């Protein structure tokens, strides 16, 4: 199962501990967890083409778990019966992505963490990776370009936050930087203006575990809007992260090792 980590707090202006005598109120954390488990395809003797592809995927999990590059497997040429077995074996896991633009790509993680199914016009493949390469390379292509609107009435703290995010973005690859809006004073106008000035990139991600985590690329390189919701769809943590990809969307290397092992167990059961 995908590891689920809340981003660290304590970053950005205003995110320090309150002054003595002040109290911070926290909303309740989610209690329910959605879990995913694979089921065995109902077949008598899986087609060899399906077994071969699933075996190759399991082997790729092992290689990538030890630092190897991502690997892809074309599904378009699989015979219908083999394709059915592959689809039923992989199932649907915790993370889904939408990559907008041309071509538009739908990404669905399988029940095996780090094994991703990609579909769209001319796209029909499985990719084994911590995260699909298209989600990295196309994330910040502007889907909604950033505006240059000056701060209007009610915009108080957003210009300082924009400067902070822009500076960290321009710094290039660096440790994760988080601006925690949940702990910062802001107005509705602040949030709207900041969103407009950052624009919107081409990648949307939904990670389902303890509640939902919704991740949206901005049009500013390496800058993501990351929002955590509890099981009643109430926002409990609202942040911007400056990083290549938020950790919550990544398959951990130990999860890839586990995926390879579990996939081989399924292969033996349906052989």
The pLDDT tens digits of the residues spanning 121-130 come to 999 999 999 9
Given a cut of 90, is residue 18 above it in pLDDT? no
Count Cβ neighbours within 10 Å for each residue of 201-225 and write b for 16 or more, e otherwise: bbbbbebbbbbbbebbbbbbebbbb
Question: How far, in Å, CA of 165 to CA of 7, rounded?
Answer: 16
Q: What is the mean pLDDT of the chain?
A: 87
pTM for the full model? 0.83
Question: How far, in Å, CA of 113 to CA of 116, rounded?
Answer: 8
End-to-end CA distance of the chain: give it in Å, rounded: 24
Name 149's bridge partners: none
Given a cut of 90, is residue 134 above it in pLDDT? yes
Per-residue pLDDT tens over the stretch 236-264:
999 999 999 999 999 999 999 999 999 99
Q: Is 55 helix (H, G, I), strand (E, B) or coil?
A: helix
* Residue 210 confidence class, pLDDT cut points 50, 70, 90: low
Given a cut of 60, is residue 9 above it in pLDDT? no
Contact 121, 101 (CB under 8 A): no
Given a cut of 70, is residue 141 above it in pLDDT? yes
pLDDT at 13 (0 to 100): 42
| pLDDT, average across residues 57-67 | 98
Token pair listed for 30? 């989610």
Question: How far, in Å, CA of 230 to CA of 225, rounded?
Answer: 17
pLDDT at 70 (0 to 100): 98
Q: What angle, 0 to 180 degrees and rounded to 10, lies between the N-to-C axes of helices 253-270 and 48-65?
A: 160
Contact 115, 266 (CB under 8 A): no
CA distances, 16 to each of 19, 155, 179 (Å): 9, 22, 11
Query: With pLDDT > 70 as the criterion, what percentage of the chain qualifies?
Result: 83
Q: What DSSP character marks residue 220?
A: S
Q: What angle, 0 to 180 degrees and rounded to 10, lies between the N-to-C axes of helices 48-65 and 80-90?
A: 40
Strand pairing category for 95-99 and 203-209: antiparallel
Token pair listed for 160? 């300082």
């Amino acid at each position: 199962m995908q590891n689920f980590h809340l981003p660290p707090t304590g970053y950005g202006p205003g995110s320090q501990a309150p002054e003595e005598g002040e109290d911070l109120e926290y909303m309740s954390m989610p209690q329910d967890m959605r879990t995913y488990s694979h089921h065995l395809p109902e077949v008598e003797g899986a087609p060899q083409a399906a077994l071969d592809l699933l075996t190759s995927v399991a082997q790729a999990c092992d290689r990538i778990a030890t630092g190897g590059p991502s690997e892809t497997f074309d599904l378009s040429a699989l015979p219908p019966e083999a394709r059915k077995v592959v689809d039923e074996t992989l199932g649907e896991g915790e993370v889904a992505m939408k990559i907008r633009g041309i071509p538009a790509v739908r990404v669905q993680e399988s029940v095996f963490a780090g094994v991703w199914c990609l579909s769209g016009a001319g796209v029909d493949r499985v990719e084994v990776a911590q995260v699909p390469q298209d989600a990295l390379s196309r994330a910040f292509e502007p889907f909604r370009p950033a505006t240059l609107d000056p701060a209007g009435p009610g915009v108080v703290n957003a210009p300082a936050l924009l400067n902070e995010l822009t500076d960290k973005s321009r710094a290039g690859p660096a440790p994760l930087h988080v601006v925690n809006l949940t702990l910062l004073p802001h107005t509705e106008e602040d949030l709207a203006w900041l969103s407009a000035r950052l624009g919107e990139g081409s990648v949307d991600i939904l990670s389902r575990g303890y509640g939902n985590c919704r991740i949206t690329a901005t049009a500013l390189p390496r800058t993501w809007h990351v929002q955590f919701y509890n099981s009643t769809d109430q926002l409990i943590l609202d942040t911007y992260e400056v990083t290549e990809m938020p950790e919550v969307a990544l398959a951990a290397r130990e999860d890839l090792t586990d995926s390879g092992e579990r996939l081989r167990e399924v292969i033996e059961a349906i052989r």
